[in-house]
Amino acid sequence: MQIEGKRAVITGAAGGIGRAIAALYLREGAQVFLVDRDAARLEAAVSELGGGRSGKVQGLAIDVTQEQAVADMAAAAETAFGGIDILVTCSGAISETEIEKMSLAEWRDIMSANLDSVFLACRAVLPVMKRQGAGRIVTVSSQIGQRGAPRFTHYAASKAGVIGFTKALAREAAPHGILVNSVAPGPVLTAFNRDLRPETLDGTEAALPLGRAAQPEEIAGAALLLASSPHGDVFVGQTLGPNCGDVMP
């Protein structure tokens, strides 16, 4: 059990990748505090993972782009488990629009969902981790933030921002015993991309060197590595790329 007894907060926990990370963390001995703004999906995730039976799973439905809600969430998680050892920021949003047709509102919606949410969650848990003298933060970015993609300028900018934010925070937090890193998945078989254009999705898997997209469970292992000890003890400001070969830094 690589994270036995650790207390993890996972945002976007009702989605495919977030739920897979939560399930793996539980199997490896952690307690998990699941956060998502979709209350119905969150309730299903908590129930599926054993909430109410083991005492190791709790959930809270909030909008992670709202400052006070995120601050209250961090306080609730600390109260529930007595501390916060791990934060995984898995919440996010995506849309597909040519830049000439993109409204400022759409730009801001994606930036808020993908970047503001990370800032708010990290800022909220850092005081808790500093008091403990240790912690792990795993941000979830994207390979599109590394290489870009047409019709995804807003999404690419937000995820590139997450990577830059991760590097800067890693330098700020490491002296306090808090290690901050990112996981940048490639295409993953979840409902996240369900609203993208068919022509965007067609041929995506065949174009990957691996010849297929990833399953959520295959992404979760990277988040476990970065949260574990001793295997994750020297990762600082890194971006791991479980992307089926789409990006080769």
Task: List residues with catalytic annotation.
Answer: 155
Helix (H, G, I), strand (E, B) or coil at 89: strand
Beta bridge partners of 10: 34, 88
Omega before residue 230 within 30° of 0, cis: yes
Q: In angstroms, how far is CA 120 from the centroid of its own chain?
A: 13
Tokens encoding 30: 């952690």
**Spatial distance between the Cα atoms of 223 and 105, rounded to a whole number of angstroms:** 32
Give kind and range of the element (H or E) at residue 171.
Answer: helix 153-173
DSSP code of residue 87: E
